[in-house]
Structure 1
Amino acid sequence: MADESILTLSNEWAPQAPARSPRRALLGAGFTLLAVVFIGAVAWFGFSFSEAQGIAGQRRESAHRLELFSSTVQAVIKRLEHVPPTVQLNRDVQVLLTQPSNRARMAATNAYLRQLNAYLGSVAVYVMNDRGIVVASSNDVRPDDSRVGEDVSFRPYFLDALSGRVGRHFAIGIGGDEAGYFVSHPIHDGAHVVGVAAIKISLEPINALWETLGAPGLLTDTNQVVILSSNPGWRYTALAELPIERRVDLQLTRMYNNVRLTRFPIAVKLAVDEESQVVETLLPPGGPPSMRGVHAGTLVLGRAIDGMDWRLMMFSDLRPVRDQALVSATAAALGAGVLVLTAVFFVQRRRIMRQRLAAKAMLERANAELEQSVADRTQDLTDANRRLREEVAERAQAEMTLRATQGELVQAAKMAMLGQIATGITHELTQPLGAIRTLSGNAIEFMRRGQLDEVAGNLRIVARLVDQMGSIIQPLKRFARKSKAASEPADVAHAMSNALFLYHPRLRDEGVEIENHCVPGTAIALCEPNRLEQVLTNLIGNAIDAMAGAPVKRVTLRASTEPVPASGARQVRIEVADTGCGFSDEVRAQFFEAFFTTKPSGNGLGLGLTISRDIVREFRGEIVATGAPGAGALFIVTLPAAEPSTAPAPLVHEEEVLT
């Protein structure tokens, strides 16, 4: 003991390398993390503030340009809106409407309209009678665009004017396919409307103004259809899906003639009822040619044109704003970094001064404590031996406690397995009980009708389901006596038919389509038939639950016999595929764990797939699941194949029960 004390003292006063305490290391890591977070926060604030200011400035500038462009569009359109009311002031027009066969009046009216059209610079000016027949036109000398004698009664602007209102509509010409803005006005004879005067205003001056906007833009009409655009590829595309009733109306009025309306190429829903919106992502790089000029991060600004049912929209590129925001964020981060480094310098200088003072005080205490340390060392060794004996006794007691705990864990595991099997039996009895309830209700209705043969058929099915419920309870007894289920040839097609029969009302009510490619006699598995039906019932039920919100609800069932790879044996392959929500790799990894479920609370115990896997493995088979989020799921069950034989036919088909 004396030698050990001397060795301990020598080691205590020997030179040792300074060690960094865990607390100091933790404080240093925390300070570094705090500095990084502070610099990141300052950079993010600088970016956000600069971006917000830049977007606000871009919005103001874009709104100003939209205002100027809108005023220009109004000037182009409205400068000729007063023309149709003045047409009826011409005496020849009034006489022609009352004497449509007077060729002299027709020639005089056409000459007047030609002069008026040439003076105004419009596309055409024409007059229609109260039946919508064009009786005079400024283009009467142009055979391809005369319109004289044509019936335009289906046009909305004619119907508005015939009702006594001023008609204003965009439309594509019937013959020349030239788009224009039509303004119509009723021609009165006293209180009666005897005709309609209309003018077609060219929109080409507006197309020449897109360069002044300084960004891609478009004009939409009341149907949210692009009628004019700086990008020709956007014309006659719809910002929103048109209802079928509206499409029929457009075909009847031939507003867009024979042009086929497609969807607007930007894969983002534009809120055209709002004044503006910021679209963060429109198209990935390398989009279609029709999207040139539109990039990720675009300010979409729109406004209605006063007095018209048109909306002007402008796409302003925000990349310069984002670049400036990045520069501001970098500058803010550099400033924050300088502040952090300054703070680190002063903190480090203060810590060094404290260490120097602490080292001086420690040397003074060391001289005073050296003599006391030698006296205390012997007592420390005695106390250490005593603590060592106490620790040995505590570890012996802990080992005894561990053995007792292990025994309790083994007993708890056994009780958990019994609870799992009992809960699974309760889960599996739910579907046969529901089927018995349905069949009993059908039997009552058949007895009321006097159809005793159908009643007998339903009761036979009830008897079979009761037998099946009895076979479902057998796993608990087999678990108690550690016995295995007996294998026998089972026709997969018959088991599939019985499983589908249990779900027939639900399949019909939820609109689920079944594609059953299982042919009787082609896939004979070596297993217990009732247990095979349990597995298929559970997989089909899970497929139906997974398609609750799917647009297409279809379950595909297949069964085939194939050779086992690298073996001369054969196996039966059963596939159950759905078009539901699918699942991720993380979910698939937990599928076969007990009490794991993706269904809402109260809709399942999470034991169906666990029991199904145990049943399949009991017959030397396997079950796997594949799928992807949003692409549906596929469950594959493989079982040993039996020798082909004639499988028993199902007791009854679905059609017989539901007749």
Structure 2
Amino acid sequence: MALALIAAAGFWVYERSFAQGASSLKAASNGRLDLFASVVEARVRRLEPVPATIQLNPVVVRLLQAPSAAHALAANDYLSRLNAHLGSLAVFVLDVRGVVLASSNTALRDDSLRGEDVSYRPYYLEALAGRSTRHFAIGSGGHAGYFASHPIYDGPRVVGVAVIKIGLDALEQTWPMLGAPALVADANQVVILSSQPQWRYTSLAPLPTERRVDLQLAQTYGALRLPLFPLSVELSVNEDSQEVQGLLLGDEARVSAALGQARSRADFMVLGRSLDGMDWRVLIFTSLAAVRHQALLDGVGGAVSVAFLLLLALYWAQRQRIERQKLGAKRQLEQANAELEQEVGRRTQELTDANTLLRKEVAEREQTEKTLRAAQNELVHAGKMAVLGQLAASITHELTQPLGGIRTLSGNAAEFMRRGNHGAAQENLSIVARLVDQMARIIDPLKSFSRKSSSRPEATDVGRIVEQALFLFQLRLRHEKVETDNRCEPGRWIAWCDANRLEQVLVNLVGSALDAMRDAPRKTLRITAELRPEQEQVPLAIAIQVQDSGKGLSEADFAHLFEPFYTTKASGAGLGLGLVICRDIAAEFQGALQAHNVPEGGACFTLTVPLWQASLHPKTPVTP
């Protein structure tokens, strides 16, 4: 409600300020229009009576009565001196056929008019009919002007026509007094003068076909085609005051372009005046941007003022409410004290009963707290069992590969001992012992329950670790006829990581690759390594790629590849934790594990491990 009131107040102030600003702007524009109209009338209409005085000179009447070279020379001289004195463009005399017999501009070849037939001009036709006339037209020489004509009488008979052509160039210098785009339109609503050159000789309203034909026959505007005015304007004329008001129609871009201004809100006031006795209209296009901006500021100020008054009223009402609450509270307190003194005895018994009930509630609360504590202990125990189950499942998965290796190595050792090759059997048994130690280190996290075993990074020969991982799958590789392409030579790549954990990751990746190629027609296992450029957390890294020739990974596999308990193997063949464990191990030594499909078929897992650098890491012996 308050926001609506503030908005309404701001809108009301905005509308009132805009109306006042528009009224003031209109008054100022009307004042400039009155001044401009006075200037136009003073410079144009002051010469309108001149044609009526030309017949007073006898040389003009003699020329019309008896045309001759001598009479024409005398008339030309008279008209030339008259034109020079008046400052008009031309003064000339026509005979009843519409031919120019004398002109003030005989010295000008392009505008002398002598001998020219202008019987098609309206000023000739009207004057020949005995009526004085005046109108705008473009002369035969291409110069526009205001023509005024008057019949020349010889007694009651019209023997000729006197015409004066008044120039309008001086009016072009008066546009700055209007301070806005403006134009002057004649009786045909054709723009004859304008501060905007592109508006000149355009029609404010569509001209009927008959009117266009008449104008072309009279050559009022020469050979110009008179296109429509670039803006749509609706005008209304006050017949009493002769004031003209209008509205601009059209989109903002068109109006702004036509007015030669930057694209903004098309907000202009169109005002005008009808010039007395000339059938001309002066129109001025005044921008309302400043008025609207000031109205917007006033509206914001009004809204802020109303908001302040509302806040002040709210503060006063809140203060009055607080005072009433204080008085009410005081009365209630006095009444309560009186009632308390009267009911001390009864309240004492009630307090005793309440104490008894409170003791019972306290006992019940204590029992409830014991039950809640027991439930919390059960929840903690359940949480521990869940974590223990998850850790046990992870350890079980990690022990699968070392147990397989021990089974293979122990079988090989027994065979070597049966053959009497004790050296090979002893080497196999030493590897079994190392695998047993590795299993012991894997089982070690169970002792600390949820703590991960500490990783001890050291300089590790990646090639030797790869060979050790492949050695564990030696029997399976031969049995499944897998072609092995190991391009990771020992001694070439030295990584900074825990050797045991790196081997565990490679064992998992190799085992997953062999599982993926179980039903493949061509089984190829390729292991490569390369140096990768600097990354976000690893300055230099070794990228170990384990690539198989299986069917590759699907979109669903990529979406859930590193989620716990997600596996592509058959039910019971895996827990879906191997890749999760490998990713976590890689993250421990600031590495990463990624997967992608290769174009020739199969999947490729890329393990990124930090490169050992003597300048950054301690000089520890290389661990195979």
Could you state the TM-score of these two structures normalised by the residue count of structure 2? 0.51
Q: Is the 8 A contact 2:234 2:248 kept in 1?
A: no
What is the aligned partner in structure 2 of residue 258 from structure 1?
223
Alignment CA distance shift 1:245-1:214 (3 Å): same
What is the aligned partner in structure 1 of residue 14 from structure 2?
47
What is the aligned partner in structure 2 of residue 324 from structure 1?
294
Match of 2:72 among 79, 84, 106: 106
CA distance in 2, matches of 1:217, 1:51: 23
| Alpha-carbon shift at residue 296 of structure 1 (Å) | 2.0
3-state SS in 2 of match to 1:214: coil
| Alpha-carbon shift at residue 352 of structure 1 (Å) | 4.1
Unpaired segments of 5 or more residues in structure 1? 1-32, 375-659
3-state SS in 1 of match to 2:236: coil
Q: Is the 8 A contact 2:234 2:246 kept in 1?
A: no
**Deviations for 1:314-355, whole angstroms, at most 9, x for unmatched residues?**
112211111211121122111101111012112333444555
Match of 2:259 among 280, 291, 300: 291
What is the aligned partner in structure 2 of residue 637 from structure 1?
none
AA aligned to 1:158 is Y
| Alpha-carbon shift at residue 141 of structure 1 (Å) | 2.6
1:277 maps onto 2:259 in alignment: no
AA aligned to 2:114 is V
Q: Is the 8 A contact 1:110 1:138 kept in 2?
A: yes
Match of 1:117 among 83, 105, 126: 83
CA distance in 2, matches of 1:271, 1:225: 17
What is the aligned partner in structure 2 of residue 230 from structure 1?
195
What is the aligned partner in structure 1 of residue 176 from structure 2?
211
**Deviations for 1:435-455, whole angstroms, at most 9, x for unmatched residues?**
xxxxxxxxxxxxxxxxxxxxx
Greater CA radius of gyration, 1 or 2? 2
Q: Is the 8 A contact 1:126 1:198 kept in 2?
A: yes
Alignment CA distance shift 1:285-1:203 (3 Å): same
> 1:454-493 maps to which residues of 2 (within 5 A)?
none
AA aligned to 2:166 is I
What is the aligned partner in structure 1 of residue 30 from structure 2?
63
Match of 1:347 among 317, 327, 330: 317
Alignment CA distance shift 1:82-1:204 (3 Å): same
3-state SS in 2 of match to 1:239: coil
What is the aligned partner in structure 2 of residue 537 from structure 1?
none
| Alpha-carbon shift at residue 47 of structure 1 (Å) | 1.2
CA distance in 2, matches of 1:277, 1:144: 41
> 1:364-383 maps to which residues of 2 (within 5 A)?
none
What is the aligned partner in structure 1 of residue 154 from structure 2?
189
3-state SS in 2 of match to 1:110: helix
What is the aligned partner in structure 2 of residue 76 from structure 1?
43
Q: Is the 8 A contact 2:135 2:278 kept in 1?
A: no
CA distance in 2, matches of 1:283, 1:251: 33
What is the aligned partner in structure 1 of residue 132 from structure 2?
166
| Alpha-carbon shift at residue 142 of structure 1 (Å) | 2.1
| Alpha-carbon shift at residue 286 of structure 1 (Å) | 6.6
| Alpha-carbon shift at residue 127 of structure 1 (Å) | 0.6
CA distance in 2, matches of 1:290, 1:336: 41
What is the aligned partner in structure 1 of residue 307 from structure 2?
337
CA distance in 1, matches of 2:256, 2:315: 55
Matched length: 338
CA distance in 2, matches of 1:280, 1:202: 31
CA distance in 2, matches of 1:357, 1:317: 61
CA RMSD of aligned residues (A): 2.8
What is the aligned partner in structure 2 of residue 89 from structure 1?
56
AA aligned to 2:134 is R
| Alpha-carbon shift at residue 268 of structure 1 (Å) | 3.6
**Deviations for 1:124-183, whole angstroms, at most 9, x for unmatched residues?**
111100111111111223222221121111111111111111110100012x21110000
Q: Is the 8 A contact 2:184 2:194 kept in 1?
A: yes
**Deviations for 1:582-602, whole angstroms, at most 9, x for unmatched residues?**
xxxxxxxxxxxxxxxxxxxxx
**Deviations for 1:363-422, whole angstroms, at most 9, x for unmatched residues?**
9599999999x9xxxxxxxxxxxxxxxxxxxxxxxxxxxxxxxxxxxxxxxxxxxxxxxx
What is the aligned partner in structure 1 of residue 408 from structure 2?
none
AA aligned to 1:80 is L
AA aligned to 1:64 is G
1:127 maps onto 2:93 in alignment: yes
Q: Is the 8 A contact 2:91 2:103 kept in 1?
A: yes
**Deviations for 1:27-68, whole angstroms, at most 9, x for unmatched residues?**
xxxxxx2x1122112211211221111111111111111111
| Alpha-carbon shift at residue 259 of structure 1 (Å) | 1.0
Identity of aligned residues (%): 49
Q: Is the 8 A contact 2:106 2:114 kept in 1?
A: yes
CA distance in 2, matches of 1:293, 1:212: 19
AA aligned to 1:112 is Y
1:315 maps onto 2:269 in alignment: no
| Alpha-carbon shift at residue 291 of structure 1 (Å) | 1.9
CA distance in 2, matches of 1:142, 1:57: 50
Alignment CA distance shift 1:231-1:147 (3 Å): same
CA distance in 1, matches of 2:40, 2:94: 28
CA distance in 2, matches of 1:42, 1:290: 36
| Alpha-carbon shift at residue 358 of structure 1 (Å) | 6.8
Q: Is the 8 A contact 2:191 2:202 kept in 1?
A: yes
What is the aligned partner in structure 1 of residue 579 from structure 2?
none
Unpaired segments of 5 or more residues in structure 2? 354-624
CA distance in 1, matches of 2:29, 2:159: 47
